[in-house]
């Protein structure tokens, strides 16, 4: 499964971004970013996420198992990317 949360920033992103593996020290920034995504989703009538999901425990597990990455622009996380092997039955 591949999940991404991205906040579009109307600034010059050219040649300033990189992707890095998330570490536990990034948790506060990740939570803030995901809350901003959730608020943006809700404003646009997309109710995919809420106050309970994604939760801190899930993010800690993703950091510990090395599946959570951050897109960084000028030292600031602007996106999360999760890669894992779990597949949903549809």
* pLDDT, tens digit, 9 for 90 and up, residues 41-74: 888 898 887 777 788 999 999 999 999 999 998 8
Q: If residue 71 lies in a helix (H) or strand (E), which one and from where to where? A: strand 68-73
Q: CATH number for the domain including 58?
A: 3.40.630.30
With contact defined as beta carbons under 8 Å apart, do 81 and 23 qualify?
Answer: no
Full-model pTM: 0.73
Q: Is the pLDDT of residue 30 over 90?
A: yes
CA–CA dist 14, 16 (Å, integer): 6
* Domain span at 35: 2-11+20-83
pLDDT of residue 24: 96
Please check whether residue 89 lies inside any domain of the structure. Answer: no
Using DSSP, how many helices (H) and how many strands (E) does the chain show? 2, 4
The token duo for 14 is 């050219």
Please check whether residue 42 lies inside any domain of the structure. Answer: yes
Total domains, the chain: 1
């Amino acid at each position: 499964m591949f999940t991404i949360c991205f906040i579009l920033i109307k600034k010059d992103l050219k040649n300033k971004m990189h992707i890095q593996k998330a570490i536990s020290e990034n948790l506060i920034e990740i939570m803030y970013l995901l809350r901003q995504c959730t608020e943006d989703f809700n404003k646009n009538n997309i109710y995919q996420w809420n106050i309970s999901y994604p939760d801190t425990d899930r993010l800690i597990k993703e950091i510990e198992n090395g599946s959570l990455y951050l897109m960084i622009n000028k030292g600031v996380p602007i996106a999360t990317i999760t890669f894992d092997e779990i597949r949903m039955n549809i």
